[in-house]
Amino acid sequence: MINKQLKLILVSTPIGYLGSGKGGGVELTIVSLIKGLISLGHKIILIAPKGSKLPFESELLEIRLIDGIDQPSWQHQKKTDPVLIPSNSVLPKLWEDVINIANKSDAVINFSYDWLPLWLTKTQPIKIFHLISMGAESKIMKETISEISQFFPFQLAFHTKRQSKDYDLKTDPIIVGNGFDIENYLFNENENGPLGWAGRIAPEKGLEDAVRVAKSLGEKLLVWGLIEDKEYASKIENTFTEEIVEWKGFLPTNKFQEQLGRCRALINTPKWNEAYGNVIVEAMACGVPVIAYDLGGPGELIEDGFNGFLVKPNNIEGLIKATKSISEIKRRNCRNWFEKKATNKVFAKRVENWLHKGLNKKISTDFQN
């Protein structure tokens, strides 16, 4: 049976325009999913902050750009901080636009990890679906997501089970993983390259632990990513006086994958409940095995001994031991894992199933009582 074409509004992250890198992994998730949903024949309207660009065009895609000030990201606020909406914020403007055009569509998918779109779920006739992109980094967000899960359980989805466990959910969570455009990643057979690390340069990403591994092995560590926290980046430079870190900058996907693919291993050292870990799968798509802390998403993406190694969080000795054994992992396994589990087509199918499930459920009105 061919599924009916859906008319979908996708609302981008309000933390930066698409392509800025400020939105972290969510940016790539949105771009990959749009391509996947279009390949399944769905019609997309993307509403995104001004400056956003997509690397492809399609008759099935319309982009509406909205001007305004970036939202502060929750991961750099205190757990008990209140909701902040800056003057001239882009977040309410994105959602004003959604409300204005909603009657032309079947559903809205929200990618911002913020309070306003969750709250709007209770007030709008159109069904708003939320792909939750982080673990519970704030009290108000945790409470709001838990409340939505009670009344609209089929309108929430998570990237991994471990991420979803951060929340008090009333029913079994819907897990959709993530997906990446297979055409963008080339398999690289070279087993003898350098060690790599990639991610936003910010404390929750734990770059310092990977640098320690490189130092102990007397090697350089190649580092890709947006410097989000300048103070943290200089602290790393000053702590490791020898030239161990080679900063490669924040590159577009085609260049990033080409350089990443030459590595013999990617080291991933999160200090928080990583919701997914895009860079892990991007590395595997190029054939690069990953050594990661067994924390959050990485623990569900890495099959220990097959496509990489999992190490107890904060265990530098464990990382070093795993790095020394990396030649035991077949690079082909990593690519195969990616092709089976995390292409954008597979991901779009999972999202399509989620939407159908949610669209077929009656909206609960119990929360109004």
Q: CA–CA separation, 64 vs 66, rounded Å?
A: 7
Among 66, 116, 198, 288, binds ligand UDP (CB under 6 A): 198
Closer Cβ to ligand UDP, 151 or 247, answer by number: 247
Q: At its nearest, how many Å lie between ligand UDP and the CB of residue 24?
A: 3
Radius of gyration of the chain (CA): 20
What is the per-residue DSSP string for 236-255? Answer: HHHHS-SS-EEEEE---HHH
Closer Cβ to ligand UDP, 224 or 338, answer by number: 224
Binding of ligand UDP by 185 (CB under 6 A): no
Binding of ligand UDP by 291 (CB under 6 A): no
68 φψ region: left (φ > 0), alpha (ψ -120 to 50), beta (else): left
Among 236, 251, 316, 359, binds ligand UDP (CB under 6 A): 251
What SS3 class is residue 45?
strand
207-226: contacts with ligand UDP (CB under 6 A): 224-225
Binding of ligand UDP by 117 (CB under 6 A): no
129: closest CA among 158, 104, 103, 101?
158
Closer Cβ to ligand UDP, 20 or 333, answer by number: 20
The tokens for 359 are 């669209």
Binding of ligand UDP by 105 (CB under 6 A): no
Q: At its nearest, how many Å lie between ligand UDP and the CB of residue 129?
A: 20
Sign of CA dihedral 26, 30, 33, 35: negative
What is the per-residue DSSP string for 93-151? Answer: HHHHHHHHHGGG-SEEEE---SHHHHHHTTT-SSEEEEEE-S---SHHHHHHHHHHHHH
Binding of ligand UDP by 184 (CB under 6 A): no
What SS3 class is residue 361?
coil
Closer Cβ to ligand UDP, 121 or 344, answer by number: 344
Closer Cβ to ligand UDP, 73 or 121, answer by number: 73
Do residues 47 and 97 lie in contact, with contact meaning Cβ atoms separated by under 8 Å?
yes
Binding of ligand UDP by 299 (CB under 6 A): no
Closer Cβ to ligand UDP, 165 or 356, answer by number: 165
Q: At its nearest, how many Å lie between ligand UDP and the CB of residue 280?
A: 7
Q: At its nearest, how many Å lie between ligand UDP and the CB of residue 340?
A: 20
What SS3 class is residue 8?
strand
Q: At its nearest, how many Å lie between ligand UDP and the CB of residue 256?
A: 4
Binding of ligand UDP by 14 (CB under 6 A): no
Binding of ligand UDP by 279 (CB under 6 A): yes
Give the range of 4-12, 23-31, 316-324, 344-352 binding ligand UDP by CB under 6 A. 23-31
Closer Cβ to ligand UDP, 107 or 195, answer by number: 195
Binding of ligand UDP by 85 (CB under 6 A): no
Binding of ligand UDP by 181 (CB under 6 A): no
Binding of ligand UDP by 36 (CB under 6 A): no
Dihedral angle computed from the Cα positions of residues 357, 359, 360 and 366, in that order, rounded to the nearest 10 degrees:
100
Give the range of 58-66, 275-283, 284-292, 327-335 binding ligand UDP by CB under 6 A. 275-283
Do residues 292 and 276 lie in contact, with contact meaning Cβ atoms separated by under 8 Å?
no
CA 253 to chain centre: 14
Q: At its nearest, how many Å lie between ligand UDP and the CB of residue 5?
A: 28
Angle 145-122-276 (CA atoms, 0-180°, nearest 5)? 30
> How, if at all, do strands 195-198 and 221-224 pair?
parallel
125-154: contacts with ligand UDP (CB under 6 A): none
> Given the rule CB under 6 A, which residues bind ligand UDP?
24-25, 28, 198-200, 224-225, 250-251, 253, 256, 276-279, 282
